[in-house]
Amino acid sequence: MDVDRRNGWTGAAIPEEFGGAGIGYEALCLIAGELGASLAPVPFSSSIYLASEAILLAGDDTQKRTLLPALASGQSIWTFALAEGPGNPSAQAISTEYRGGKLSGRKIAAPDAGIADFSVVIAKDQGGEVGLYAVALGESSVVRDTAKTVDPTRNYASLTFRDTPATPLLANGKGWALVEHVLNRAAIFVAFEQVGGAETCLQVAKTYAMERYAFGRPIATFQAIKHRLADMYVALELARAHAYYGAWAISHNALELATAAPAARVAATDAYHLCAKENIQIHGGMGFTWEMDCHLYYRRAKMLSLLLGVRRIGAIV
């Protein structure tokens, strides 16, 4: 993550005492928006939205001082290994086991797992309690299978653990509650990425519509195009409002985060999907080609909609 390291983005929300910049979650949200707008193909979300937050929430002081500085500087790449099958993540769906200091099991579709150095893995101990475990992915007992996804700009892989040494981040029975808290925090950052991508789609579509002439005038003057652009704008602004409410909630550690996070995720997912789809349509036949960037935003919209689990409300097609 050379670009992120030079700008200090990776350490934005990590406290100074753990090697970060300590400038807060609102700054991280703005960074997420810019990453989404530019369609940056970097392992930022897996390391910072997920793994870093998991360590901050679940790690003890020694673990934070050991693990977070390399994350803050961008020197190490992390992933967050949770899913084991289709459907939304839940404590009941976890079958990966932690016994005698070692992990055994399989995780699928872990973001950036094919290139990550370490992972936070969600597993159950011998008592059936969910815990968070730090694992070095360079171990010979870890098997990585890179997955081919609809978004070629991001890396996803499955991880198989065969008696892999692991360090518990939390082992007091509150593991799943912390996993949900991590996912709620990540939902806000992902929402800002989605808003950034949706805004780019709207701007690109508007610019093209104003420059493309048909029947002697810009297609932006046609009512059908105006309606599409208006729908994109309304969805984008609704998502932006939810995202900023979430940014407030996470910055103030407010109880409202539990409701702000899913609201932001749903609104941003809908907005990004709509804007990416309509951007292709407004570009006409050109929008479907590899010569244009439109399809890349549509692909990223699809993958971000699944990053934290399957969206439950409404339908995305």
Say which amino acid occupies 237: E
Taking alpha carbons only, the member of 186, 79, 76, 66 closest to residue 132 is: 79
CA distance 138 to 287: 41
- Listed in sequence order, the DSSP H helices in 39-165 are 44, 53-58, 61-73
Residue 4: which pLDDT band, with cuts at 50, 70 and 90?
very low
Q: What integer is the mean pLDDT of 116-126?
A: 95
Higher pLDDT, 104 or 90: 104
Q: Where is pLDDT greater, at 266 or 89?
A: 266
C-alpha to C-alpha distance for 116 and 21, rounded to whole angstroms: 22
What's residue 173's pLDDT? 52
Residue 7's pLDDT band (cuts 50, 70, 90): low
Element housing 38 (H / E): helix 25-38
Residue 48 CB coordination number (10 Å): 28
CA–CA dist 57, 160 (Å, integer):
25
Contact 42, 4 (CB under 8 A): yes
Per-residue CA distances from 191 to 10, 217, 242, 244 (Å): 18, 37, 9, 9
- Cβ atoms of residues 185 and 49 within 8 Å: yes
Neighbours of 258 (CB within 10 A): 12
240's tokens:
């932006």
Question: What separation, in Å, do the N-terminal and C-terminal C-alpha atoms of the chain show?
Answer: 33
DSSP SS3 for 119:
strand
What pLDDT score was predicted for residue 310? Answer: 73
Is the CB of residue 20 less than 8 Å from the CB of residue 90? no
| CA 70 vs CA 8, 12, 52: distances in Å | 12, 13, 10
pLDDT band at 86 (very low <50, low <70, confident <90, very high): confident
- pLDDT confidence of residue 45: 95
What confidence tens digit (pLDDT) does each residue in 198-221 have? Answer: 999 999 999 999 998 889 999 898
Q: 130-136 and 167-170 as β-strands: parallel, antiparallel, unpaired? A: antiparallel
Q: So what's the pLDDT on residue 3?
A: 46
pLDDT above 90: residue 23? yes
CA distance 214 to 222: 10
Single-letter residue type at 274 = L
Range with the poorest average pLDDT among 5-19, 26-40, 155-169, 198-212: 5-19
The Cα-based distances of 315 to 131, 223, 266, 269, 311 in angstroms read 32, 27, 10, 11, 8
Mean of the per-residue pLDDT values for the chain?
92
Percent of the residues in the chain that have a pLDDT greater than 90, as a whole number: 84
Q: Model confidence over 259-316: pLDDT tens digits?
A: 999 999 999 999 999 999 999 999 998 888 888 999 999 999 999 999 998 765 433 3
